Amino acid sequence: MGSLRGAFAGSLLIGICDTFGKAYFQTVALFLIYLTMIVVLLIRPQGLFGIKYSNVAAAPAITTRVGAVTSSTRVAELAALLALVLLPFAVGDYPRALVSEIFIYGIFAMSLDLIFGFTGLMSLGHAAFFGLGAYAVAVLGAQFGLNAWLGVIAGVGLAASGAALIGVFCVRTSGIPFLMLTLALSQLVYTVALKWRDVTGGSDGIAVAERPSFFGLDLSRSLPMYFMALIFFVLTYWGLRRLLNAPLGQAFIGLRENEQRMAAIGYRTRAYKLLSFTIAGALAGLAGGLYAIFNGFISSDAVYWTASGDVLIMTMLGGAGTLIGPAFGAAIFLLMKNVVSSHSEHWMAIIGGVFVCCVMFFPAGLWGTARGILQRAPK
């Protein structure tokens, strides 16, 4: 980065890898490209020819602590929960399914928020863990006839171990190199999903063999599906809030605020970053597993890096560093995707425009901005 000669040599290197790869090992060509990138990033995070620059911390704009639980927030939460419980009885199948999807992507976005918004590490590879969770459900079901709930548990475990493994490499860096490493490593996961067709179905995808029941309720109907998603969403939200107000979560926030100082007062900073990355990966795996059950289908598109970009947009749209914000971001993103795409095929352009405006005018995200106004109002 930051050097013309480097950009040229880099493209040459990738070109060589690509040609040789294609010639000799058809299926692993993509691997080689990403492996080169990973090796370079690990050995010289500044790039092959780059000048070493100080780490550009991807510090999110929002910095207030997760609200201590006061009675007024309790009331607001209970009201919101009540509304969400009553909502499905007022609407038909389609909105129920849409909101269920929002819950699942809300879990996904909140999990990214843990590593990005609260630990201060911007990841562009989070979809890999979502994918691991989803594939665990689909593949284990198809190959071994495993019950989908066991698949979800396996998926969470798989995503957590995947995140721990990928994290070991990534947490050695921060800022831009961290971002690129997560991108490259997650693209390795994508390559596996794409090329291992016998198992994953590649870009054609794989169907979830059988929808499980949820405490005896049939998940092929929209109402039980809605409540299943709602329960997991609320549990994740509650769990993350406990975490962030507990000593461990405070340590994550400390890392975001000032990593050098955290080391100076005795924290093994890499271990804490790895822990945050692993927890976030496990929750993304949970979201992925639930999505496989919800959608009944998973293809390699779900682990492509643009999927990581989507969830990053959701998180920033709602407000990184606020807990519920990313869930709102997921809601806005999916609502726009569904509503706008029924009117215009250029829905991505419109979402992109909205995102640009939000980042320019509400750098704290929509929820972050709204909360800022709410907090200032009574004083």
Within positions 235 to 264, which residues make up the interface with another protein, using CB under 8 A?
242-243, 245-251, 253-254, 257-258, 260-264
The DSSP bridge partners found for residue 213 are 218
Task: Report whether 206 contacts 197 (CB < 8 A).
Answer: no
The DSSP bridge partners found for residue 207 are 297
Which of 49, 149, 267, 347 lies at the binding interface for another protein (CB under 8 A)?
267
- By beta-carbon proximity to another protein, the closer residue of 147 and 245 is 245
CB of 303 to another protein, least distance (A): 28
Single-letter amino acid, residue 36:
T
CB of 61 to another protein, least distance (A): 11
Question: How far is 107 from 233, CA to CA, in rounded Å?
Answer: 6
- By beta-carbon proximity to another protein, the closer residue of 251 and 359 is 251
The DSSP bridge partners found for residue 206 are 298
- By beta-carbon proximity to another protein, the closer residue of 16 and 263 is 263
What's 52's DSSP letter? P
The three-class DSSP label of residue 268 is: coil
The reply to whether 52 sits near another protein by the rule CB under 8 A is: no
Within positions 56 to 75, which residues make up the interface with another protein, using CB under 8 A?
63-65, 68
Question: How far is 284 from 116, CA to CA, in rounded Å?
Answer: 13
Q: What angle do CA 372, 368, 112 make, to 5 degrees?
A: 155
CB of 53 to another protein, least distance (A): 16
Count residues contacting another protein (CB under 8 A)? 27
CB of 371 to another protein, least distance (A): 15
Task: Report whether 283 contacts 99 (CB < 8 A).
Answer: no
Classify residue 201 as left (phi > 0), alpha (psi -120 to 50) or beta.
left
- By beta-carbon proximity to another protein, the closer residue of 28 and 248 is 248
Which of 265, 373, 374, 377 lies at the binding interface for another protein (CB under 8 A)?
265
Which residues, 6 or more positions from 259, have their beta carbon under 8 angstroms from its beta carbon?
A: 120, 174, 269
Structure tokens at 93: 């199948």
The three-class DSSP label of residue 183 is: helix
CB of 171 to another protein, least distance (A): 14
Question: How far is 359 from 378, CA to CA, in rounded Å?
Answer: 26
- By beta-carbon proximity to another protein, the closer residue of 271 and 357 is 271
- By beta-carbon proximity to another protein, the closer residue of 191 and 269 is 269
Stretch that binds another protein, among 50-58, 113-121, 170-178, 266-274 (CB under 8 A): 266-274
CB of 116 to another protein, least distance (A): 16
Q: Judging by DSSP bridges, how do beta strands 297-298 and 213-214 pair with one another?
A: unpaired
What kind and span of H or E run contains 297? strand 297-298
CB of 157 to another protein, least distance (A): 18
The three-class DSSP label of residue 1 is: coil
- By beta-carbon proximity to another protein, the closer residue of 20 and 238 is 238
CB of 101 to another protein, least distance (A): 28
- By beta-carbon proximity to another protein, the closer residue of 5 and 268 is 268
| Binding region for another protein (CB under 8 A) | 63-65, 68, 242-243, 245-251, 253-254, 257-258, 260-269
